[in-house]
């Protein structure tokens, strides 16, 4: 295996393009990749380390948006004031993300490209309508996150392409994050949810609920939230409306039935608390 450590995006793009017909893996934090090799994943012919691409570490704040470099660590998300104040669901997910060592090494880009249905950052990114900025041999393109992740471990990343940054629109909404795992820390989520909302008096003006680990990709509970926004549903309707958007499976962490019940309980607790309050 050959190891590379490009120091500029131009160098990376040229290098990656020259290896397009060979086995290449990109190394960000390595927190998912290294354990896979230890479990027997075949080693690539070429490993490209991204750590010296300084452009991928920047967090740029504009009046109406924030742009987060793909190599931004999970711990940086925890500490960033804009993320704390305006994107609480993402900050909370980052805070609950594994242990301190993983948070200081793992990256937001790695969590996205890994495309795990249980990825803790993903529900918040979906709920806030994250747009991914990609660069490759054919130039730049932008893609909504829901169009980028197409299945468990599968993305629409093209050959020679790299995730550069994540863009989020700033708006006066509130948000929160909920996660259920098999233990308090270092646990892969059995279910995780992000809630992004805005209310005036007792009525929602905006409501987005997104769930992870209940389908092949993160899903939005749009059938439920649309009826809450227009006032056409009651709490008795919520279980069927939630079931219409999720498709959990049995695995070593939980049964499909358990995931459905946990999702319903978390959503019901959030909605009743906010509708009553």
What is the pLDDT, as a whole number, of residue 183? Answer: 58
Predicted structure pTM score: 0.92
Taking the C-alpha atoms of residue 8 and residue 99, their distance in angstroms, rounded to an integer, is: 31
Per-residue pLDDT in tens (0 to 9) along the chain, 277 residues: 899 999 999 899 999 888 888 888 888 887 777 777 777 777 788 999 999 999 899 999 999 999 999 999 999 999 999 999 999 999 999 998 878 888 888 999 999 999 999 999 999 999 999 999 999 888 999 999 999 999 999 999 988 889 999 999 999 999 999 999 765 555 678 999 999 999 987 789 999 999 999 999 999 999 999 999 999 999 999 999 999 999 998 888 889 999 999 999 999 999 987 655 4
pLDDT of residue 215: 94
- Local structure of 59: helix, strand or coil: strand
The reported pLDDT for the residue numbered 37 is 73
Residues 6+ apart with CB under 8 A from 252: none
Give the integer Cα–Cα distance in Å for 103 and 107: 8
Report the half-sphere exposure of 151 (CA within 13 A, side-chain side): 1
DSSP category for residue 102: H
Please write the tens of the pLDDT for every residue from 163-173.
Answer: 999 999 999 99
Q: In what order do the strands lie in the sheet with 46-49?
A: 2-4, 46-49, 24-27
pLDDT number for residue 98: 76
- Dihedral sign for Cα 88, 175, 103, 106, please: negative
Helix, strand, or coil here: 259?
helix
- What digits encode the pLDDT tens for the residues 109-158? 999 999 999 999 999 999 999 999 999 888 999 999 999 999 999 999 98
Q: What tokens were used for 78?
A: 């925890």
Buried/exposed code over 245-260 (b: 16+ C-beta within 10 A; e: otherwise): bbebeeeebbeeeebb
How distant, in Å, are the alpha carbons of 203, 205, 227 from that of 230? 10, 10, 5
Give the Cα separation of 233 and 101 in Å (integer).
45
Helices (H) and strands (E) in the chain, counts: 12, 14
All structural domains of the chain: 174-276 (3.30.390.50)
Distance, CA of 96 to CA of 110 (rounded, Å): 17
Q: Rounded to 5 degrees, what are φ and ψ at 64?
A: -115, 0
């Amino acid at each position: 295996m050959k190891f590379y450590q490009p120091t500029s995006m131009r160098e990376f793009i040229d290098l990656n393009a020259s290896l397009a017909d060979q086995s290449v893996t990109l190394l960000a934090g390595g927190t998912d990749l290294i354990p896979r090799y230890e479990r027997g994943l075949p080693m690539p012919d070429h490993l490209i380390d991204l750590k010296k691409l300084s452009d991928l570490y920047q967090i740029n704040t504009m009046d109406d948006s924030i742009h987060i470099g793909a190599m931004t660590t999970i711990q940086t998300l925890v500490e960033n004031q804009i993320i704390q104040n305006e994107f609480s669901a993402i900050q909370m997910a980052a805070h609950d993300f594994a242990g301190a060592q993983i948070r200081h090494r793992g990256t937001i880009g790695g969590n996205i490209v890994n495309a795990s249905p249980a990825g803790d950052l993903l529900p918040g990114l979906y709920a806030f309508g994250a747009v991914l900025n990609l660069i490759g041999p054919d130039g730049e393109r932008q893609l909504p996150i829901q169009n980028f992740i197409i299945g468990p471990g599968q993305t629409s990343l093209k050959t020679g392409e790299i995730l550069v940054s994540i863009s989020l629109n700033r708006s006066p909404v509130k948000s929160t994050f909920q996660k259920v795992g098999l233990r308090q820390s270092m646990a892969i989520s059995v279910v995780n949810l992000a809630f992004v909302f805005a209310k005036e008096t007792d009525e929602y003006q905006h409501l987005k609920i997104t769930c992870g680990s209940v389908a092949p990709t993160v899903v939005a509970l749009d059938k439920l939230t649309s009826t809450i926004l227009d006032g056409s549903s009651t709490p008795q309707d919520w279980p069927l409306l939630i079931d219409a958007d999720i498709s959990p499976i049995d695995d070593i962490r939980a049964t499909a039935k358990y995931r459905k019940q946990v999702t319903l309980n978390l959503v019901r607790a959030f909605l009743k608390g906010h509708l009553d309050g």
